[in-house]
Amino acid sequence: MIVVSRNDKLEGPDTVTSENWRSIRLLKRSDNMGFSFNETTIFAGTETRLWYKNHLEAVYCLAGEGEVELLDDGRVFPVMPGTLYALDRHDRHVLRAFTELTLVCVFNPPLRGDEVHDADGSYALLG
């Protein structure tokens, strides 16, 4: 069994901080679970354009208020505690945080753990 604490990882290499977000990589590819599992904080007032070409991602909101817009058809969905959205079609999207968002993000294939977004807002498949 694997047991980890986000507080133990907060100041270490498994925490990646970008301009709009901070992601604590709780489970990574090296844990061999078939998925990775992050606690992600999206900073208040930010807008992030994302396109996970190489991954499927499910996002579950624990706290905060925001919205996600699908860029292909313009549909907008509110994001609030209890909302889950799953990018099952590698959907291009924009995530807006009206207040700070606390999210759980699950990726398949699993992240290696040190990924940051490229210019498209995607993560490369790291070897």
Letter for the amino acid at 96?
A: R
CB of 35 to ligand 9YT, least distance (A): 12
CB of 74 to ligand 9YT, least distance (A): 19
Q: Is 94 exposed, middle or buried (0-12, 13-18, 19+ CB in 10 A)?
A: middle
Which of residues 1 and 89 has its CB atom nearest to ligand 9YT in the complex? 89
Which of residues 17 and 32 has its CB atom nearest to ligand 9YT in the complex? 17
Residues in contact with ligand 9YT by the rule CB under 6 A: 21, 23, 38, 40, 50, 57, 59, 95, 103, 105
* Residue 9 C-beta-side C-alpha neighbours within 13 Å: 20
Can you list the alpha helix ranges (DSSP code H) found in the chain? 6-9
